[in-house]
Structures are given as C-alpha cells and as structure tokens.
Amino acid sequence: MRPTFLRLLQYPAFVALYLLFDWATYIEPLYGLNITPWNPDPALGLVFWLLHGRRAALPLFLALLGGEVLVRGMPAGPWVTLLGSLWLTAGYGLIGAALRRRFSSAALFDRRRRLFRWGGIVAVGTLLNALVYITLLCGAGLVPPAQWGLALLRFGVGDMVGVLVSMPLIWMLASAAGRAGLRAILWRGETLAYLALGIGVLYAVFGAVANAEFKYLYFLFLPVIWAASRQGLYGAALMVFGLQAGIIGLVKWTTAVEIAGSELQTLDAMLALVGFFIGAVVDELRQVSAELKQTLRLAAAGEMAAALAHELNQPMTALSAYGKACEYLLERGETGPVLKDAIGRMIVESGRAAEVVVRLRDFFRTGAMRLEALEIGALLGAVCA
C-alpha cells in the first residue's frame, strides 16, 4: 500500500509545484493573460510527461487550468480558458511524446548531439504550440489582431527559454542518478564559490550598475563558464537555473529593473546554450578519458598476462620434466641421491617461477627492471642440466 500511496502522491505534488512555478514567474503579463517573458513551468510538465507518459495528461491539464483560475483569475472566461488549457495539455503532451520517443530515460543530455536534438524539438514544439494558443486567444478577441505577432513571440519564446533553462536541472532532480550527481557537487567549496559569484554579479548588473543601461550583462557568463568547465552539465544546469531564478526574482519583486523582456529572454537563452555546450564537452572529454584509461588498463593486463604466460612457461616446463623424472625414478626403486637431486631441482624451479611473478608485478606497478650480469658458462650448464 505504501508504494502505491507514494506513486499517487506524485500527482497532487506535481500540480502544487506547477502552480508555484506559475505564480512565481507570472511577470509582465500581456493583457493579463498567460503571456509572459519566462515560463519554466512547462519544463516541469515535460519532465513529468517523460516519466509518466500519457498518465501525465490529466495532472498537467489540472495544473494548467488551476493556474488560469488561481494565479490569473481566469481573465479569458470559462470556455476560452477550458479550450486553451486543453490545447496546451495536448501541445506539451506532443512535445513530451516526441522527447520520450527520441530519448531513453538515461540519455537526454549526455551528448552534444542529443543536447542539440533536444533543443531543436523544444524550440519547434513550443513555437508551434504558441501559434495555435495565441491564434485561439486572438480569435476570442482577447489579443488584438495587430498584436498577434508580438503575443506569439512573447509566449513562444517565453516557453522555449523557460524549458531550455529549467528542464535539465528538473530532469536531474527527477532521477536518482541525477540527484546523486547533484549531491556530489552541491556542498563543495568550489560550487559555493561560483554560486556566490553569480549572486555578486547579479547584484552588480541589476543594482550597482543599473544606471549603465545593463552594459555589463556579459559578466553573467563568468559563473556559468566556471561551473560548466569544472563540473560539466551538472554545474551548468545548477548555475543557469540559479541565475534565471535570480533574474525572475529581481524583475518580480523590485521596481529598479528596467530592461526589455526580449533582452532578458535572449540573455537567458544564451547563458543556457553556452553553459550546456561547455558542460556537454567537458562531460564527453571526461568520459572519453575514463574509457581510454580503462582501455589502457585492459591492454596492460593483456600484456602482463602474455608476459606471465611466456616467462612462467620455462620453469613450469622444467617442473613438469622433473616431476616425470621422479615418477620414473620411483618406478625403478630409486630413493637415493638421484631422486633427491631431482626433487631439489623442482624446488629451485618453483622458486624461479615465484621470482618471475614478483619481478613482473614490480615492473607493471612501477616500470622498474632489475638487470643482472650472468656467467655464460653457468647459464649453459644450467640449460644442459
């Protein structure tokens, strides 16, 4: 009963978290509608769809409808609100289904090629979704026909930027492996340092240098590049999401920020793309390096096995010959010095085999070799014996 209850609890928890995202990012709405510069809540919906498939449709519809009623007060009226929520559920569902079909649950952001493919599906899907939704609002008279293009870009780009920036971190938080990866970096001194740098840069750009008309926005790339180059996609996702949350908070709860929404949308998108690209490259290089190390270890193991086989073949052959000789000696009743001499030679050869193993082990550990001078006469005598 407990696992079933926990599974069912995911649905109301998703709806509540979606409404929280919707409320927190309901900034600068166009005509009081759900047309804002940033919409990270669809990223949560897409992750939920990736995890649950079509079972996510009803919770997503309830979350979208709840946002219209509770966050915006249903400005479009009941019927348009219902139709708009139904379409957005279908549109986000189609994007989620496309992502679910193209990517496995563990292979969404682990390669640059997959990263760009994910970005392409999100970009095309959100813009097509916005095309139908804004046309519906325009047909209902809620958006003037002259403002159709503006509303389309504002809503479509807002969805696209919100998903591109937020979905990687939400996806990591939704999986056990992702949470483990985030925990591994979260409390490091370096992580706290670049998060602190991000807070400082946000304060400088949106506070201390506000009179400079935001000419210093490019400083926001510093913590993103630091995080991505040192901690890969995990660091990039954490830093990009943190910066977006900081920008949203500054715009929502302060009046000092006066910058065009399109500029902030472009900034968020560029921060995400640069950070994720660097992070993907760093992760790929680390994976290639790990695979190369493993290959070298296997090659070294193969060389060691071949060397052991070659070097041990000599004393083992001698041991076999002396053992067979002892059998012949015992069969003819020999118990004197000849048998003892054969047994002694077996002991010598076993010691020689052990010495071969020790020397090869030292060589493969440290590369050290022990070279010794031998008397050629003693060597030939041993071979003849």
The span from the CA of 314 to the CA of 305, in Å, is: 15
CB atoms within 10 A of CB 276: 26
The span from the CA of 131 to the CA of 169, in Å, is: 27
pLDDT, residue 259, reads 55
pLDDT, residue 212, reads 47
Closest CA to 204 of 224, 225, 188, 218: 218
Tokens representing residue 326 in the block? 């002892």
Which DSSP state fits 255?
S
Which DSSP state fits 110?
S
Tokens representing residue 230 in the block? 């040192």
The span from the CA of 314 to the CA of 256, in Å, is: 85
Contact in structure between 144 and 206 (CB atoms under 8 Å): no
Tokens representing residue 240 in the block? 């990009």
Instruction: Report residue 296 CA to chain centroid gap.
Output: 25
pLDDT, residue 216, reads 67
Contact in structure between 63 and 129 (CB atoms under 8 Å): no
Contacts of 195 (CB under 8 A, 6+ apart): 223, 238, 239, 242
Tokens representing residue 18 in the block? 């979606």
> What global pTM score does this model have?
0.71
The span from the CA of 261 to the CA of 378, in Å, is: 90
The span from the CA of 201 to the CA of 129, in Å, is: 35
The span from the CA of 313 to the CA of 132, in Å, is: 77
Contact in structure between 91 and 128 (CB atoms under 8 Å): yes
The span from the CA of 385 to the CA of 365, in Å, is: 34
- Give the position of tokens 């409390």: 187
pLDDT, residue 64, reads 92
The span from the CA of 168 to the CA of 277, in Å, is: 12
Low-confidence stretches of the chain (pLDDT < 70) are 1-8, 104-108, 110, 207-216, 252-263, 367-368
pLDDT, residue 132, reads 92
Contact in structure between 186 and 60 (CB atoms under 8 Å): no
Tokens representing residue 195 in the block? 């998060």
- Give the position of tokens 């990687």: 168
The span from the CA of 157 to the CA of 264, in Å, is: 11
Which DSSP state fits 107?
-
Contacts of 30 (CB under 8 A, 6+ apart): 36, 143, 147, 150, 151, 154, 155
Tokens representing residue 292 in the block? 């190369």
Which DSSP state fits 40?
-
Backbone angles phi, psi at 39, to 5 degrees: -135, 80
**Where does residue 345 fall: left (phi above 0), alpha (psi -120 to 50 degrees), or beta otherwise?**
alpha
Closest CA to 90 of 123, 118, 129: 129
Instruction: Report residue 247 CA to chain centroid gap.
Output: 24
What b/e string do you get for 313-337 counting C-beta neighbours within 10 Å, with b at 16 or more?
Answer: eebbebbeebeebbeebeeeeeeee
Contact in structure between 215 and 221 (CB atoms under 8 Å): no
pLDDT, residue 86, reads 93
pLDDT, residue 88, reads 92
